[in-house]
């Protein structure tokens, strides 16, 4: 396998891979999209919501905000030593307490973990009118695109040209394209090791 980086940006990487078969190319693409773990808001506990949006709609919007985090510091709840109870090693809580008139942006979410924050601070969430209040605690957890689209790490596709696969990987999560590609290859390596063990 020969890899050549064609372009490398903060949000997108293009690379060319030589001497792989279509099945491998497709497995790599799917792993990057569906299996690389990311962090997203899963549960929202509303103390007050006078906004024009229902709790469920607001919670759904919050779930889609990309969150920046350090992958090695957070575990999936199922793999955590708290055994699914929820703790600082597998959950991150964001708090918000605002009174209108105001437009609430992703940057208004205050993280309780210094290593975690919304990737962009300018995503509009909801508009509050005069004296309308919005108070909630939102809990983010690690998941994968296989479980729900909000944990999808990247958009990835490839084209096939002159016996080479040209991949484009665009992040849509808090991970960099490089982190996504690295993690995907680790996951694939882990799987092939497991298979070898079984055989």
Residues forming contacts to Zn ion in the complex (CB under 5 A) are: 80, 82, 87, 89-90
User: Starting from the edge strand earliest in sequence, which strands make up the sheet with 12-18, in order?
Assistant: 2-8, 12-18, 164-171, 154-161
**Nearer Cβ to Zn ion (83/190):** 83
The least distance separating Zn ion from the CB of residue 106, rounded to whole angstroms, comes to: 25
Paired tokens of 192: 């092939």
**Nearer Cβ to Zn ion (90/125):** 90
Residue 86 pairs with which residues in a beta bridge? none
| 3-state SS class at 100 | coil
The least distance separating Zn ion from the CB of residue 80, rounded to whole angstroms, comes to: 3
**Nearer Cβ to Zn ion (90/172):** 90
**Nearer Cβ to Zn ion (39/104):** 39
**Nearer Cβ to Zn ion (62/74):** 74
Cβ atoms 16, 173 nearer than 8 A: no
Query: How many Å apart are CA 123 and CA 8, to the nearest integer?
Result: 25
User: CA 29: distance to chain centroid?
Assistant: 16
First to last CA, the chain: 24
Residue 44 pairs with which residues in a beta bridge? 138
The least distance separating Zn ion from the CB of residue 66, rounded to whole angstroms, comes to: 22
The least distance separating Zn ion from the CB of residue 139, rounded to whole angstroms, comes to: 12
Q: What is the DSSP letter of 182?
A: H
Q: CB-based contacts of 99: which residues, under 8 Å, 6+ apart?
A: 128, 131, 132, 133, 134
The least distance separating Zn ion from the CB of residue 84, rounded to whole angstroms, comes to: 8
């Amino acid at each position: 396998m020969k890899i050549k980086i064609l372009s490398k940006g903060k949000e997108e990487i293009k690379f060319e891979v030589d001497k792989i078969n279509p099945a491998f190319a497709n497995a790599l693409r799917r792993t990057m999209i569906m299996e690389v773990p990311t962090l997203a808001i899963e549960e929202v506990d509303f103390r007050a919501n006078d906004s024009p949006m229902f709790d469920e709609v607001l919670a759904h919007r919050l779930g889609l905000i990309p969150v920046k985090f350090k992958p090695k510091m957070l575990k999936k709840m199922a793999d955590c030593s708290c055994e699914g109870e929820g703790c600082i090693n597998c959950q991150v809580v964001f708090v918000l307490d605002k009174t209108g008139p105001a437009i609430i942006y992703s940057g208004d979410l205050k993280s309780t973990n210094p290593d975690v924050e919304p990737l962009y601070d300018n995503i509009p969430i909801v508009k509050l009118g005069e004296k309308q209040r919005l108070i909630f605690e939102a809990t983010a957890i690690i998941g994968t695109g296989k479980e729900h689209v909000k944990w999808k790490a990247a958009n990835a596709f490839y084209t096939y040209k002159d016996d080479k696969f040209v991949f484009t990987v665009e992040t849509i999560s808090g991970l960099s394209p490089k982190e996504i590609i690295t993690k995907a290859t680790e996951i694939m390596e882990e799987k092939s090791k497991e298979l070898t063990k079984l055989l």
